[in-house]
């Protein structure tokens, strides 16, 4: 077990475990250790890894990424038939559950201020990944609402980042889902920082509409059957018909004086989900736009805020180690 020196594989094997969910890269568990500490353990699957050295070098880079909006990576275990990652445990679940869970009577809606805060925190986490290692051009590769976790203070923390380099062509992760950029949906290995921006744009649309990334379209002409349409296409069609108000989640209609902010975030989301990668904004600019919407003062040095030079936790030597 490499990473947290106080943690041994035996500790994990003795821990009581509860499954948290299955994702594209594997299954996550909540593990309660003998000393009472709680961690999240990810059991990886379907990764195309050339060898232990390649895996360890990449884990070294990911392990040095420290940011308030990234889930803390604590340790890893590598064997031919078993690969485990240990993270800090997030007690308040994920964004997907907050948005879509318990829809119906008795549900506590996710208010607008919280949605904006989550959008801003997620953008900052992605910005740090994109800018922390200039020589590697790191990407997240799997941005979706189940990978935005919420800490005890309500802050967004991005998880499951950096594993797209190990995607095998046959992996379910590499296939299309509602968050996939058009170019990545055609070829799951064509993941870039620009495809991350598209996925984040879909996540913003999810926050605004309260709808899942792939939705049922009941207006399809013909036999009366519903068809599945992706969220960006649905939003574009509604906005084109000048029914913009129809886009927004009904749960948001109870809040006063937020229409301008909602339309502002919608414009950011639509810019991020442009079909052409070159037309999508860089994440630093997205962070700046969301901060301006929230009325947060933006410093002139914002573009370099999350760069390597500003962060002692990641060095260029570490980046080069895995090249």
For 186, which DSSP code?
Answer: H
Segment holding 322, helix H or strand E:
none
Distance CA 142, CA 25 (A): 9
From residue 218, how far is each of 195, 202, 221, 224, 225 by CA, in Å?
A: 29, 21, 9, 8, 7
Contacts of 234 (CB under 8 A, 6+ apart): 211, 215, 217
Burial of 18 (0-12, 13-18, 19+ CB in 10 A): exposed
Sheet with 16-23: strands ordered across: 2-3, 73-79, 82-88, 38-44, 26-32, 16-23
* Alpha-carbon torsion, ordered 291, 295, 299, 303, to 10 deg: 20
One-character DSSP codes across 143-164: --GGGEEE-TTS-EEE-S-S-G
The values of phi and psi at residue 311, to 5°, are: -120, 110
- E-strand stretches of 89-245: 148-150, 156-158, 214-217, 227-230
Sign of CA dihedral 110, 111, 115, 118: negative
* CB-based burial, 101-122: b 16+ in 10 Å, e otherwise: eeeeeeeebbebeebbbbbbbb
Distance CA 204, CA 302 (A): 21
* Alpha-carbon torsion, ordered 197, 252, 71, 28, to 10 deg: -100
Find out whether 42 is annotated in a ligand binding site: yes
The first and second tokens of residue 221, run together, are 């002409």
Q: Which residues are annotated as a binding site for ATP?
A: 42
């Amino acid at each position: 077990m490499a990473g947290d020196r106080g943690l041994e594989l035996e500790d994990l094997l003795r821990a009581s475990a509860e499954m948290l969910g299955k994702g594209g890269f594997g299954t996550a568990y909540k593990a309660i250790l003998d000393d009472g500490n709680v961690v999240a353990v990810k059991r990886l699957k379907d990764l195309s890894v050339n060898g232990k050295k390649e895996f360890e070098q990449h884990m070294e880079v990911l392990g040095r990424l420290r940011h308030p909006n990234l889930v803390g990576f604590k340790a890893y275990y590598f064997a031919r038939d078993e690969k485990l990652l240990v993270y800090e445990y997030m007690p308040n679940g994920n964004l997907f559950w907050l948005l879509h869970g318990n829809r119906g009577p008795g549900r506590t809606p996710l208010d607008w201020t919280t949605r904006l805060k989550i959008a801003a925190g997620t953008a900052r986490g992605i910005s740090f990944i994109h800018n922390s290692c200039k020589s590697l051009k790191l990407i997240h590769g799997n941005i979706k609402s189940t990978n935005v976790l919420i800490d005890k203070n309500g802050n967004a923390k991005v998880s499951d980042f950096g594993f797209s380099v190990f995607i095998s062509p046959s992996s379910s992760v590499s296939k299309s889902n509602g968050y996939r950029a058009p170019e990545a949906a055609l070829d799951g290995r064509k993941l870039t920082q620009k495809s991350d921006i598209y996925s984040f744009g879909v996540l913003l649309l999810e926050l605004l509409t309260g709808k899942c990334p792939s939705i049922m379209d009941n207006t399809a002409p013909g036999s009366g059957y519903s068809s599945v349409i992706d969220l960006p296409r649905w939003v574009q069609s509604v906005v084109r018909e000048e029914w913009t108000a129809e886009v927004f989640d009904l749960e948001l209609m109870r809040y006063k004086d937020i229409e301008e902010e909602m339309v502002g975030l919608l414009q950011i989301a639509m810019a991020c989900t442009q079909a052409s990668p070159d037309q999508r904004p860089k994440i630093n600019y997205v962070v700046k736009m969301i901060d301006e919407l929230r009325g947060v003062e933006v410093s002139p040095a914002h573009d370099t805020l999350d760069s390597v030079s500003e962060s002692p936790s990641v060095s260029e030597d570490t980046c080069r180690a895995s090249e």
